[in-house]
Structure 1
Amino acid sequence: MGTVFLVHNRTSDPTASSPFALKVVEKSTIRTKLDADRRARWEIDVLRRLHNHAFLPSLIGSLETDEFLAYAVPYCPGGDLNVLRYRQTDRVFSPAVIRFYLAEIICALDHLHTMHIAYRDLKPENILIQSSGHVTLTDFDLSRTLAPKQLKSLASSPENTITDAFKTRKHRRNLTKIIKNVVVLEKGGGALLKKAKSARVSPVSRRRLSFETGEKSNSFVGTEEYVAPEVVRGDGHEFAVDWWALGVLAYEMLYGRTPFRGRNRKETFRNVLLKSPEFVGRRTALTDLIQRLLEKDPTKRLGYTRGASEIKEHEFFRGLQWDLLTEVLRPPFLPSREDEEDLTEKGVGGMDVREYFERQKAPPSFPPSPLPSPSSEHLKFKEF
C-alpha cells in the first residue's frame, strides 16, 4: 500500500535517539492507487482512535501534500514476530513464550473489538516487537468497523474453558507453558533479513456495503494462509475471523508452519475449508486452544459468543494475571543493542521523498551500477 521509512526529526532529535516509522503513500489517479489512498486514510482514522494502549500503536502525526499522504507511528526496533521466530534455533517458540505473546495479542484484539473494529489481517509480519519487548499490532488498512452482535441470551451458553475430553484427561493427570513487502532496515549496506512475500488478498467486496455499517462484512480480505473459512465461502464474516487467525498464528508459533498451506492458493483455500489441523504428540492445553480457535463453523469457534473473555478462561491461560502483563519487565526477548543502535550516521546524506519515488519509476540502468552506498537508502523528508 505504501513505503515505510525509518526517519528522525533533525531539528528536535539531531542524534536520532527517538526515530519513528513514516509510511508514505503516493497519490495517483490510477484505480489501484486510489484504493491505496482510501485505505491509507482509513488507517489514519483508526490510528487516531487508538489512545495509549500498551499493545497498539499511536499516531504521532500525519501530513498530506499534492503528491503524498504520510503518517508516522512509533518505531519498533525488535522487528516482527516472524523475524524473531526465525532467530530461534528450531524456528519455533516454547509454549511459555507462545502464552506470553498470545496473551498480549488477545488484549490488543479485545480492545479493537470493543471499538467495533475487526482487525482482519493478523499474521506474524504485523506483530512488531517494541523496545520494551512487548508486542504491538500494525497495519490497519484491511480493518473495518462492524456493528456488534445482538445476543438474545448468554445464560444458555456452553462452558467455554476446554473440551470435555481434554478436561477429563487433565483431571486424571491431576490425580497422579511499512511498501509492498516487509520493511527491510539496512545495516552497513546489508539487509537485516529478507523474507518471502506474504500472499495478501486484496479487498474484493462481493457487495457494495457501507464501510461503517452492518454486522457482517462480505469483503474478501486477509492473507491466504490466515483467511477464515467463512471469508473463503463468502458467507459474510465478523469478529470471529480474528480468533481464527489467532489459532493459525498459535499453530505457526508452535510448529514453524501454518496448518493449511497448499501448493497454490486454490489448494490452500480448499484446505482451509476441508482439512483439519494436524497435531504432533500428546494433546495439551495449547493444542486444545488451537483446535477450538480453528473451528470452521464461526458460531462454534472459541470467542464467538463472549469474545476475548472466553479465550482468557481457557486452560492454557490458567493462572495468568492479565492486568499485570504491561508490568512484565523481562519479556521473553528484548531487542539487542544492535537493533537499537544509534542512527545518527544513517541520517546523513539522505534524499527527498519525491526523489525516492522518482527513482523507483526510472527504468533500470544497463549494465547494473555498482552497489549503492549505505546512505542512499536513507532519506530526509523535508516537508514533514
Structure 2
Amino acid sequence: MEENKTTPPELELDNLRAIKVLGKGATGTVFLVHDKSRDLPFALKVVEKSSSHHADRRAIHEISVLRRLSAAVPHPFLPYLIGSFENPEFICWAIPYCPGGDLNVLRYRQNDHVFSPAVIRFYLAEIICALEYLHERGIVYRDLKPENILVQQSGHVTLTDFDLSRDLIPRKTGNRCFSSDYEEVNPVKQTPQKRKFPRFVLPKRGNHPFHNKKGSKKTKNARVSPLSRRNHIEFPTNERSNSFVGTEEYVSPEVIRGDGHEFSVDWWALGVLCYEMLYGKTPFKGKNRKETFSKILLAEPEYIGKPSAVTDMIGKLLEKDPTRRLGYLHGTCEIKEHEFFDGLRWDLLTEVLRPPFVPSTDETDGRIDIREYFQRLKLPPSPLWSPSREECRHNVSLTEF
C-alpha cells in the first residue's frame, strides 16, 4: 500500500471560522468550518475536556483511528483526518464535510420512509466495502447505524464516528475475495470515466425515490454506555472484546449475553440496517430497553410479503449464533457472493457518478465563535440570549463523527 508521507497538520483554533452547528453527538459537537488557509469546508468535531473523562478518552481513540485510516491514500467510503488540535479546553479534529446528511434523514424523505431494494443494494455495497477495509486492518466498527452513514457531495456514502471501534486481531477466515484497489481512488478529486447509476440499481426517473421533497425526521439515538459489563480490562489488541457498546436496537445477541464478540457484530448490525432500510423500522424494537434486548435474544425478524433475496440475506445476517452468521466463515466474500448482489460490479462502485441521491452544496453563511458557543451552554437562558434549535437538540447524531 502506498503510504501518505504527509502528517495531518495541527489546526489553529483561532484561524477557524465556524459557520454553523451540524449536530451534537454522544461525545461532542460538530461544526461546519472554514479555515482561512483552506478553500474547502470541513467538519470539525469539538469535545470539551471538562465534559467527561470517557469523552476525552474516546476522542483520543477516534483521532488515533482516523490517523491510521489517513496513513495511506484515503478509502473512498471512509473519512480521513484533515487535522487535529488540543489545548486545555478542547480536543478538536477535522474530517471532510458531507453535505448530504445521513441515511436516516434520507430515508424519511421517501414517501413510505423506505428505500427500494435496488437503492438498498447500492448503499449496502459501499458500506460492505468500507467494513471490509476496516476488518482487514483489525478494526471492528461496532456502531453501524443510519445516523453514522453520511452522504458525500458525490452521492457516495462514508462511515463516520469511530469512538466505539476496537482493535482486534483479525481471525483467519479463508476469505476468497480480494479487495478492490481503492488506494488509487482519491475521494476529494475523482476524474473517472462517466458512469451513470446502473439500471439494475436505479429506478426510472419518474419513480425515483429521492424526488420526494418532504421533510426529514430524526430518531432518538439510544446509545449503550461503552462500559464493560463484567469489569473486564480491555487490552490494546485481542481476538475478542467483552465491552458492552453499541446502539440499543443494533446491539448483537453476543454483546447482550456478554459472551465476548468480534467482527461478526458488524454483520449483525448490517442485517438490522438492511431491515430498517427495507421496512422503515428496526426488527427488534421493544417498548423499553429490556424488551428490546429480550427480542434481540429470542425473537425472529418478521417479514412482509413474499420471501426474496434481500429477506434471505437479512435472515442470514441476523443469525443469533455469530459462528453461523453470514460473513463469519469466509469474511466479506461470503456476503458479496449472496444472490442479492448478483450482477453487481464491485470494482465499478467508485466510478458511479449518478448515485441515487446527489446533494446540493448548502453552506449557510454565518460565523460562530466556538469558545463562546460552549460558554453559552453553561449559562441559563436570558432575554439577551436564547439557544438555537441546534443547541437545544439532544440525542441527535445528524452528522455525528
Q: Which amino acid aligns with 1:56?
A: L
C-alpha displacement of 1:342: 4.5
Aligned to 2:56: 37
Residues 1:317 and 2:341 aligned together: yes
Q: Which amino acid aligns with 2:126?
A: E
Matched pairs, number: 324
C-alpha displacement of 1:313: 0.5
- Alpha carbons 1:144, 1:211 under 8 Å: kept: no
Matches within 5 A, 1:176-187: none
Aligned partner of 2:357 among 305, 319, 333: 333
Aligned to 2:127: 105
In the alignment, the residues of structure 2 paired with residue 261 and residue 75 of structure 1 have an alpha-carbon distance, to the nearest angstrom, of 32
Residues 279-319 of structure 1 show CA distances to partners (whole Å, capped at 9, x for unaligned) of 01111000000000000000000001111110000000011
Distance 1:250 1:194, change over 3 A: closer
Aligned to 1:10: 36
SS at match of 1:57: coil
Distance 1:285 1:373, change over 3 A: closer
SS at match of 1:305: coil
- Alpha carbons 2:120, 2:274 under 8 Å: kept: yes
Residues 1:57 and 2:102 aligned together: no
C-alpha displacement of 1:364: 2.4
Aligned partner of 2:88 among 66, 72, 75: 66
- Alpha carbons 2:175, 2:331 under 8 Å: kept: no
In the alignment, the residues of structure 1 paired with residue 137 and residue 389 of structure 2 have an alpha-carbon distance, to the nearest angstrom, of 45
Distance 1:362 1:230, change over 3 A: same
Aligned to 2:272: 248
Distance 1:68 1:213, change over 3 A: same
Aligned to 2:43: 21
Q: Gaps (5+ residues) in structure 2?
A: 1-26, 177-200, 202-214, 391-401
- Alpha carbons 1:145, 1:211 under 8 Å: kept: no
C-alpha displacement of 1:197: 2.4
Distance 1:372 1:218, change over 3 A: closer
TM-score (norm 2): 0.77
Distance 1:342 1:228, change over 3 A: closer
Residues 1:358 and 2:369 aligned together: no
Aligned to 1:231: 255
Residues 1:201 and 2:227 aligned together: no
In the alignment, the residues of structure 2 paired with residue 194 and residue 322 of structure 1 have an alpha-carbon distance, to the nearest angstrom, of 32
Computing the radius of gyration from Cα coordinates, the structure with the larger value is 1
SS at match of 1:147: coil
Distance 1:351 1:94, change over 3 A: closer
Q: Which amino acid aligns with 1:107?
A: C
Residues 256-301 of structure 1 show CA distances to partners (whole Å, capped at 9, x for unaligned) of 0000000000000000000000001111000000000000000000
Aligned partner of 2:327 among 285, 303, 307: 303
SS at match of 2:80: coil
Identity of aligned residues (%): 68
Residues 1:119 and 2:141 aligned together: yes
In the alignment, the residues of structure 1 paired with residue 162 and residue 248 of structure 2 have an alpha-carbon distance, to the nearest angstrom, of 17
TM-score (norm 1): 0.80
In the alignment, the residues of structure 1 paired with residue 363 and residue 157 of structure 2 have an alpha-carbon distance, to the nearest angstrom, of 22
In the alignment, the residues of structure 1 paired with residue 386 and residue 329 of structure 2 have an alpha-carbon distance, to the nearest angstrom, of 59
Moved more, 350-359 or 237-246: 350-359
SS at match of 2:353: coil
In the alignment, the residues of structure 1 paired with residue 322 and residue 156 of structure 2 have an alpha-carbon distance, to the nearest angstrom, of 29
In the alignment, the residues of structure 2 paired with residue 108 and residue 255 of structure 1 have an alpha-carbon distance, to the nearest angstrom, of 24
